[in-house]
Every structure is written in structure tokens, then in C-alpha cells.
Chain A
Amino acid sequence: MAERATLGPVTCAGCGLLCDDVSVDLSGEAVRLHPSCPLGAQWFAERVRRPADAPMATVDGEPAELEAALARAAELLRRARRPLLYGFEGSTVEDARAAVALADRIGALVMTGSPAGPWPGAPALPLRGASTATLGEIRDRSRVVVIWREDPETSHPRLLERLGFGAGGGAHRTLVVVDARETPTTARATLRLRWPGTRDLEALVTLHAVQRDRPPASSDIHEQLVTLMEHVRDAPHVAFLYGPGLTDGEGGQRRALALHELSRALSHERHVVTLALAPAAGTIGAQEVLTWQTGYAGNVDLASGHPELLVATQPIDGVDVALRIEGAAAALADGVVTIALGDRPDADCEIWIRTAAPGVHAAGTAHRLDGVPLALQAPLAGDAPTAAALLEQLLSEVVR
């Protein structure tokens, strides 16, 4: 079948923004997107330019028939003592639903963060909650937008445009960027604040104190904090955007908690919302599914016949078989047998089974970084099954 020259408008799953107004131009050598986005163009290119002789599956690095690979994978999972399901960065909600169903039956660990540990900031939410909003709310209402140690111009290239800071936009609004680095995002700031990440907790706690008119002893960043607070105090609606730059590493949960405490305190005088910049399109949806099916978000252990929530500090021991679903490889302990379901070959796995790429060859649902569930389209025909279909087959094989 002849490939169409232009696809769309479709939803781009190249990052957590899930822009759903994208036209994909396949007429030239390079894939081009309109509106332009380098990350999205690369994402589509990797999925629409597939070698004609790509195998459907590999076993021990050698091309294999789909049914043989599935049978082997099912056997491995059936015999696994401590199976792990992880990945999900590129999965759909439908994939995640099928994955948790399989995990429930085989008593697996499910990790929607990295096997090295969940995103450290995520566990802050159950402690005190958060105030959040969808993109349109921030675009239309926030007079001050504070980006905290993130570089969305690189990680989410159309974020500022979609928040109303595109060409000619944002004239009466303040874009504050907290970052000691020089990045494409800091170049867009109307107010730049510089201190190292090691002082973020101090900064957040101090802002909270300033908000309560109980400023602590002055420090070399005090003046910047007062300036930020002056902008916040003048605005009826403020948004804080943050991500791994604030919450990764030791103390990440405490810093995330401090941000939410600050936004809650500020909320008494004005409307304040936060937005976490999740990097991957599939992760939010997988966490939503895990939450509604098990009651817990993040990482859940189903080994005892019911869900148990794993917290960040718990070690993940004893995994012998890992099933990776539409995600990037992670460092696992030596001896762990890996099965991967994904749209691109992975020679490092014992078993790899090709899937229809969500958003290109497979339709489905994904959650935008602000939680909005969106349709992924399948603008191109493909010959591979979805991860959801493979997982359902694996489940039926395992329980046979």
C-alpha cells in the first residue's frame, strides 16, 4: 500500500504533551511536523521508517515466529518465581489494563516508574495532596508561571506555546525560570532566578516563611526569593511547573512536599496550581490504570494475591523474569531474563516481540501530562499486534 504523504491531524506521543493537532509530512527524506517540533519529528521518524525485513520477534537475538516467541514467553512467565512488569513509557491505557490483568494473575511486581525506584516526587501526593490544572487553565488564567529547574523547550518543545507563551503571546504575563544552567528555556524567561539545586529545599521553605511574613535570616538568595514572592503576590492566579529537576535524587520527596506546601499556603490569597512535567506519554496513563485496578499508584506488588504498595525505599529483590512493555531498557540484576514487547527490535532481550507502535500503527488512549485522556490514532497500517493483544494472549497461555 502506498504511504500517504501527509498524516493528520493526529496525536503525537513523542512526549507527555500529547499534542493532538499535528500533521506529519512524510513526503521528504526527513519527517516533518506541523506545527514544528523536533522531538515529535524524531519520534514519528523512528516509527514510520521501519526496515521492510524487520522480524516479528526474536528469541535469543535470532528472528523467530510470533507464536513460538509467545509460547516461550508464556512458559518463562509461568515458571517465574518473582516476575516484574515494567516500562510503559510508550504504552496505551489499553496496554496497561492488559498488563495489570496479567500481573494480577501471575502475582507480579508492576513498576510504572523505573525499576531503580519510582519518580521520587510522586509519593509526595499522598502525604498532603496537591493543586493541579489542565494546560488550558494555566494558559488562560495564570499571570505568573514559574518553571522550576526544568527545560521544557528541550523536553516538551511545544509546552510554552501551548501555555500561551508562543510568538506574540504572554505579553502581560511573567515567565519565571528557576535554574542555574543556561538552557533554551531560561532564554525565554522574563524573570530568571539562579541558585543550585542543592538549595531548592531552602528556597521553598524560605518562600513559605516569607508568605507567612516570617522571613528567616537573610542569605545570598534571599533577594531573589523576595522578588519572586512580589510577582506571586501581585497575581490572582499562579502556576508552578516542576519535574525530575526538583524531585529526582536524595530528598526529592521532601522537596516535592515543600512545593505543594508552598502552593497550598499561597492558595489562601490567590489561585495556585502546579503541573508535573512527566516526560513520557505512557507513564501517566499506566499509573492511572494501576491506581484504578489496584488502588495504588506507582509501584505495586501483587505477589501475595492482592495489591501491596511499594514505597521508594523498598529494595526490589529476587526478580527472575522481567516483562518490559513499550518502554526503555533498565539496568536489572545479572541473571534476570527479559521479555520485551515493543515496536523496535531489542537484541539485548531473551525474547522480543514486535508491537504496533501506539499512535502510529495502533490506536488507543493515553493521558497527557496534566491527566487529560486523549485518543491516539493509527494513521498507518501495520502488521504487528498491539501490546494489549499480546498481553491478553500471554494471560490466556499462562492460565491454560
Chain B
Amino acid sequence: MTAIRIAGGCVHDPANDVDGEVSDVCIEGGKVVADVGPDARRIDARGMVVMPGGVDIHAHIAGPKVNAARRLTPDERRDDPVDGTELLRSGTGGLVPSTFATGYRYSLLGYTTVVEAAAPPLAARQVLSELRDTPMIDKAFLILMGNNQVLFELIRESGGAVSPQLRDAVAWWLDATGGYGVKLVNPGGVELFKQDNGNVHSLDDEVAGFAVTPRQVLEAIGGAVDELGLPHPVHIHANNLGVPGNADTTLETMRTVSGRQAHFAHLQFHCYGGRPERGAGAMRSRAPELLDYLASHPEVTADVGQVMFGPAVTMTADGPLSAVLRDLGGDKWLNHDTEVETGCGIVPYRYRSSNYVHALQWGIGLELFLLGRDPWQVMLSTDHPNGGSFLSYPKLIRLLMDRAYREDQIGRANPRAIRRTALLDGLDREYTLNEIAIITRAAPARRLGLLDKGHLGIGADADVTIYHDRADREEMFATPRYVIKGGELAVEEGELRRSDDGLLLSGRAGFDPEVERVLEPLFGDRYTVAFEHYPVRDPALREPARIVEARS
């Protein structure tokens, strides 16, 4: 494999306490090494910024909901064709790009690892197939477990405690699907929506027919993930997303999983004050309270889920949420109920700077970034494409790094909304390059348990992004000078130089195979798929892969 010396760059490698040090980074055999021989290719990085490849901890890039969104929005992609070449496949871009275009565009942005954050286990074959067709990046997916009827049965039997059977079942599901980690979306609420358009509104509402509560689901499955020692902690999309006053639910959810490792998805959507009965017009920010909680609970992390003004496509396993968006005026609405496991809703959307709620959401996202004390705890995401495309990350970075630009943008947003945030309180923080490196690669990689990623220490994966050090940070982060993936030059000056499959990253924990004797009858009563045919074992779908083992 290629040996490369990246010479004289300004290196930002916060995981190794390197903050803007001018040094060489050497690569050989797909890994960062101490030195390379004189024949190594030399990349002159003088005057440039060198960082580990970007790691997206929460995005939606593959699986049935993503593909349904593509089908739902052909017009949105018509003006963004991606031509094929002898090296590259054709496709379409837009907010929900085709698979090949997704891989290419992440790579061109300097990202080398991406997590699909919500996959129905029953659809694992499709998720794996789509990820096989998503080149250039390493990728993982989280499997949805917060509304799984079989797990509800196990939780009810254990009285809400973490039982050995539940632990084994969680590990079995990862093994059966190739998933990396566990996602809980509106625990209990999606099941009630599928019954008769219901939902849960508090952590102690009972899920009809199962005699379990969201709190028990959080405690039991979150606890099982923690006890298994999976590389990534339970990844939570809390109840009451988007509802005025939902900060109470979010704080209560955090307290419920207190003392255990947990990651909260798109926290911005869960930081609202106000009361449901007073409507969205009375909604306000409670981001500072959530940040206070994080500051005293280092076991909890979050990604922001920043909304960006402009078009978006909301896609979520939170079916009842999507029905609300439909009723807010969504021209198009797609709902899909997956037996036993989950739901799905899709509504194309547009965030408008003049709209009170949208501007408030935008402002709350910025509050989370700017008021947060520890960038290792609050990571960058737009919940692509829910808050906006991943292609808007450079603009978001500029908002964080460039106060004058940010203030100009604040001046264009709904003033009543902005007044209900801390953005007018002399918030002069500007992120440093090292902080950007933390929230876009080092912290996500560490939180995912990807010890070989997100840093440039000896033995790390040779995933490296090299930027021109431009004053315009949006331009800088939109067009890396070089991207090296797995030790090979993937991107040079905005052009893809090679096509690479990338790896599937799967999580694994040991389990007692006898759990299948427990699961099989529960499957038989509920699924319309035979238990023996449910697991996906095909090497063609599961490889090439890297298995990340649980901490024993």
C-alpha cells in the first residue's frame, strides 16, 4: 500500500493533545506510522491544516426510509445530476442523494466515517445493500429497539430490570443484522401510534397491550447496552420531540439513564420551554438547563441536530411526530409501519428564517454549540437531512468560527425568536480549529468507540483531511485540498481520485445462543418472517467489515 508523508502541515489532533503543531504525518499500510522511507509520496502541506477524517455520528443515508424519501422527492434532485465517469458511478444529489453520490460527497467534504442512525432490524438486508453501494466512507448503522414488541415482552417479564435474557437478545440482534449500536426512538410512542394514532407523553405512560413504560424501556435497554459494553452507548431520540416544554421530558430521560453511558441525538429538537397547550408561539429555549445537566454528567453526550435555513427532508422512525408535521402543512407525507419493531414518517420541509419556530430552533442549536462548556460532549450534526443536508456543515462551521458572520445571520432571523435565546447576550465565542476538530471527528469517533479513528496517533486509521487555511471557513471546509482514506489519496483539490468500497463497521458482544429458544416463539407469534430466515449472514452483504468488540 501507498506510503505518504504529509509534510509541514499545521496539525489539529485533539485526541492526542496536538493543537496546531507544525509537523509531519506519516502513513503506510493504511495506518498512521512514526516514519516512512524516502520513497514515500510527499504531500507538501505547508500552510495547510491537517485533521483526522471527519466522523458523522448521526445522519440518515441508507435503508428503507431514506430510499422512500428518494422516491418521494424526485423533483428535488432533478437539478442536481451527478455524471458518471470511467471511475465513478452516476447518480443524483440534492438533500437525499443516491447512494454513490452520498459516498462521493461525504468524501469530497473530508468525511471518512458516517453512521446511519436509525435502521429497522427487519430491513437490515436493504440497509446493508445500500451501504455496499455507498463508496468512499466507512459506515455503520444503529438498529431501532425502542418499540420492539419482543423486547417489550422481555422487559415486562423482568419488571423493567436488565435481565440476562434482555442483554443476550440485544447482542443477538446486533449479530443478526450487522448493526453497530442500539437506537431508541420515542420509546413506546411509535407502538401506540401504530395501534391507533396514539403516543406517549410522559416517561410513565403505559404502552397499551404491553404493560411497559418508556422509562422501563430506557432503563432496561439502555442498561443492557451499558452492561454489554458495546462500543457505542445507547443512542436516544427522546420522547416528545419538537413539543413545547419537552425539555422536562429530556431532562427526565437523562436522569433515568443517569450513571450510565448514553448519547442523546439531535438535542436541539429536545430543548424547548413552554407548554403544549400554549402552542408553538410560546415556545422558548431551555438549552442552558440541558447544558448544565451535561456539565455535571460527563457520561452523557449529544449531537446537536442544527437546523439550517432552507430545504430539508424530515425522515424519522418517530411516526407520530411525522403525522404532526403532515398536519402543519406537509404537501407530501409518507408513513410506513414495520411490524413488531418500528415506524417511519417522511415529510419534505423548509426552515424559514422569518418563521418564529424555525428561527428559535436555529438559535437553540447555536446556543448548544456556543454555551456548551465541553466540545467533547456536544457534537456537530444536522441530523442530515432532517435539519438540513450534510453539505451545509461548512456553513455551520463558519457560524461557529466567525462571530461577525454569525451576527449578520442572527440579524436576518426572526427577532422575536432570537430574543428568546442567549444569542443577543454578547455571546462572542468563536470556535477554534481544534474545537472544530473535536466536534467533527475526535469526539464522535471516541463516542462511537472507534479507537482507530478520529485521531492521528501512531496506529490510527490513515483517514486524514487536509484543508487550505482560508479566512472564509465555509469555503475552507467545503473543499478540502486532500482527503486520504485508508492510507490512499481519495480526493485532491475537489476531485475524486479513486473509488473505494469502504468498510462496514459492526458492533459485537457475546451472548448465550440459548437466547434463540426464548426469541423464536416470540418471533413466531408476531413476525411474518420465519425466525430462521431473519438473520443476515451473507458475506456479500456483511463484508468487507471491521468488527468492533464490546468491552468485556
Of the 9-residue stretches A165-173, A326-334, A370-378, which lies at the interface with chain B? A370-378
Q: Is the CB of A306 within 8 A of B530?
A: no
Asked if A190 is at the interface (CB within 8 A of a chain B CB), the reply is no
A108 to chain B, nearest CB (A): 12
Given the known inter-chain contacts A295-B94, A307-B90, please indicate yes or no for A134 contacting B126, CB distance below 8 A.
no
Q: For residues 178 through 209 of chain B, which have their beta carbon under 8 Å from a beta carbon of chain A? A: 193-197
Asked if B123 is at the interface (CB within 8 A of a chain A CB), the reply is yes
Asked if A11 is at the interface (CB within 8 A of a chain B CB), the reply is yes
Q: Report which residue of A94, A307, A363 has the largest number of chain B beta carbons within 10 angstroms of its beta carbon.
A: A307
Q: Main SS of chain A's interface residues?
A: mixed
Of the 9-residue stretches B157-165, B272-280, B401-409, B532-540, which lies at the interface with chain A? B532-540
Asked if B46 is at the interface (CB within 8 A of a chain A CB), the reply is no
Asked if B40 is at the interface (CB within 8 A of a chain A CB), the reply is no
Q: Mark B306-349, 1 if CB is under 8 A from A, else 0.
A: 00000000000000000100110001111111111000001000
With a CB–CB cut-off of 8 A, which chain B residues contact A305? 83-84, 90
Which chain A residue shows the least CB distance to B323? A267
Of the 9-residue stretches A34-42, A68-76, A136-144, which lies at the interface with chain B? A136-144
Q: Is the CB of B126 within 8 A of A135?
A: no
Q: Is the CB of A97 within 8 A of B129?
A: yes
Of A273, A295, A309, the residue contacting B97 (CB under 8 A) is A295
Asked if A224 is at the interface (CB within 8 A of a chain B CB), the reply is no
Q: Is the CB of B81 within 8 A of A136?
A: no
Q: For residues 86 through 110 of chain A, which have their beta carbon under 8 Å from a beta carbon of chain B? A: 93-94, 97, 101, 104-105
Complex alpha-carbon distance, A289 and B123, angstroms:
14
Given the known inter-chain contacts A271-B195, A292-B133, A307-B92, please indicate yes or no for A373 contacting B323, CB distance below 8 A.
no
Q: Mark B111-144, 1 if CB is under 8 A from A, else 0.
A: 0000000000011111001100100000000000
Asked if A226 is at the interface (CB within 8 A of a chain B CB), the reply is no
Asked if B70 is at the interface (CB within 8 A of a chain A CB), the reply is yes
Q: Is the CB of B70 within 8 A of A291?
A: yes
With a CB–CB cut-off of 8 A, which chain B residues contact A367? 126
Of A105, A132, A267, A295, the residue contacting B84 (CB under 8 A) is A105
With a CB–CB cut-off of 8 A, which chain A residues contact B101? 295
With a CB–CB cut-off of 8 A, which chain A residues contact B197? 267, 269-271
Of A135, A271, A294, A372, the residue contacting B194 (CB under 8 A) is A271
Q: Is the CB of B91 within 8 A of A126?
A: no
Given the known inter-chain contacts A237-B195, A292-B99, A305-B84, please indicate yes or no for A136 contacting B340, CB distance below 8 A.
yes
A378 to chain B, nearest CB (A): 12
A152 to chain B, nearest CB (A): 15
Which chain A residue shows the least CB distance to B339? A136
Q: Report which residue of B62, B195, B197, B529 has the largest number of chain A beta carbons within 10 angstroms of its beta carbon.
A: B529
Asked if A180 is at the interface (CB within 8 A of a chain B CB), the reply is no
Asked if A128 is at the interface (CB within 8 A of a chain B CB), the reply is yes
Q: Report which residue of B124, B326, B338 has the largest number of chain A beta carbons within 10 angstroms of its beta carbon.
A: B338
Complex alpha-carbon distance, A302 and B92, angstroms:
11
B199 to chain A, nearest CB (A): 12
Of B71, B126, B130, B340, the residue contacting A125 (CB under 8 A) is B71
Asked if A293 is at the interface (CB within 8 A of a chain B CB), the reply is yes
Which chain B residue shows the least CB distance to A93? B129
Of the 9-residue stretches B72-80, B247-255, B442-450, which lies at the interface with chain A? B72-80
With a CB–CB cut-off of 8 A, which chain A residues contact B133? 97, 292-293
Asked if A130 is at the interface (CB within 8 A of a chain B CB), the reply is yes
With a CB–CB cut-off of 8 A, which chain A residues contact B123? 371-373
Asked if B459 is at the interface (CB within 8 A of a chain A CB), the reply is no
Q: Is the CB of A129 within 8 A of B333?
A: yes
Of B66, B196, B335, B530, the residue contacting A21 (CB under 8 A) is B530
Asked if B496 is at the interface (CB within 8 A of a chain A CB), the reply is no
Asked if A393 is at the interface (CB within 8 A of a chain B CB), the reply is no
B226 to chain A, nearest CB (A): 30
Asked if B499 is at the interface (CB within 8 A of a chain A CB), the reply is no
Complex alpha-carbon distance, A94 and B132, angstroms:
11
B522 to chain A, nearest CB (A): 13
